[in-house]
Amino acid sequence: MAVLTEAHGRVLVIRLDRDEKRNAMDHAMTLGLDAAMNRLEDEDQWWCGVLTGNGRAFSAGSDLADHARNSTERGGPYGVVRRERRKPLIAAVDGLAYGGGFEMVLACDLVVASRRARFALPEVKRGLLALYGGVFRGARALPLNLAREMALTGDPIDAERAHALGLVNRLCDDGAALELALEMAERICANSPVAVRESLHVINHSIETSDALAWKLSTEAAARVRASADSREGVDAFLGKRPPRWTGR
């Protein structure tokens, strides 16, 4: 299976396990992650979740070679990005989190990252748009001008800078992100699960009420980008492992 789960007391650890593709998300992984997130939300024994990636990456985002629908009714993109959650979800990042991978990180409530972690929205390099919340969630999690820089250049930032600017809650040595995330999850689970869920609901719902316009704008912009020749060229160039030849149309 490409998505694994394991129990750590009251904490459900969810692992993306497709290292040969840097945990790039295809349809099967989306269904697996959706099922794991359903377990976290629906089963009373879990009070907190940790999302991580096995191998070299947290996730490289969407698998551009897979054309199946990477969205679910309950969780939206990848089964997690637009999910309504009551239980905390911690991202444990020990490698790159690019594109949709970074957007999954931004959909989590807390972030633990190792020093080798990198975060990026490289969609513009492929003639695409970061349509899974990366553009506007990035602008909330980071200083506005840095969020603009990431969205417009596609260049990554390292974990130390992300930590200094508040995106990353805890910074750790390489290979220790999951361990530190579990420590944080256990501290959360030492508290009343009712009080934790309601606190998280107030914080997240106050933000989500302003997200409707942002999702609408993202959807409209993504449609214009997808209709462009540049979008087709960007994907073809990526799959063909060659530089893109942009036309601006």
Give per-residue pLDDT as tens, 91-109. Answer: 999 999 999 999 999 999 9
Average pLDDT, integer, range 121-131: 93
Q: Answer yes or no: is pLDDT of 188 > 90.
A: yes
The pLDDT tens digits for 204-242 are: 988 877 788 888 888 888 889 888 988 888 888 888 889
Residue 127 has a pLDDT of: 93
Residue 238 has a pLDDT of: 84
**Residues designated as active site:** 103, 123
CA angle 66, 68, 73 (to 5 degrees): 135
Q: Which of 36-50, 54-68, 77-91 has the lowest mean pLDDT?
A: 54-68
Average pLDDT, integer, range 31-42: 98
Alpha-carbon span 121 to 92, nearest angstrom: 18
Alpha-carbon span 11 to 202, nearest angstrom: 22
Q: How many CB atoms lie within 10 A of CB 169?
A: 16
Query: Which residues does 7 contact at the CB level (< 8 Å), separation at least 6?
Result: 13
Q: Counting Cβ atoms within 10 Å, is residue 186 exposed (0-12), middle (13-18) or buried (19+)? A: middle
Residue 65's pLDDT band (cuts 50, 70, 90): confident
**What HEC string does 50-86 produce?**
EEEECCCEEECCECCCCCCCCEECCCEECCCCCCCCC
Whole-prediction pTM value? 0.92
Which domains, and CATH codes, for the chain? 3-194 (3.90.226.10)
Residue 115's pLDDT band (cuts 50, 70, 90): very high
Match 């214009």 to its residue by tokens.
Answer: 224
Alpha-carbon span 101 to 113, nearest angstrom: 13
Q: Which two tokens stand for residue 106?
A: 């931004």
Instruction: Write 163-171 long-range contacts (CB < 8 A, 24+).
Output: 163/113, 166/141, 166/142, 167/111, 167/119, 167/141, 167/142, 168/93, 168/111, 168/112, 168/113, 168/117, 169/110, 169/111, 169/112, 170/111, 170/112, 170/113, 171/112, 171/113, 171/114, 171/115
Residue 74's pLDDT band (cuts 50, 70, 90): very high
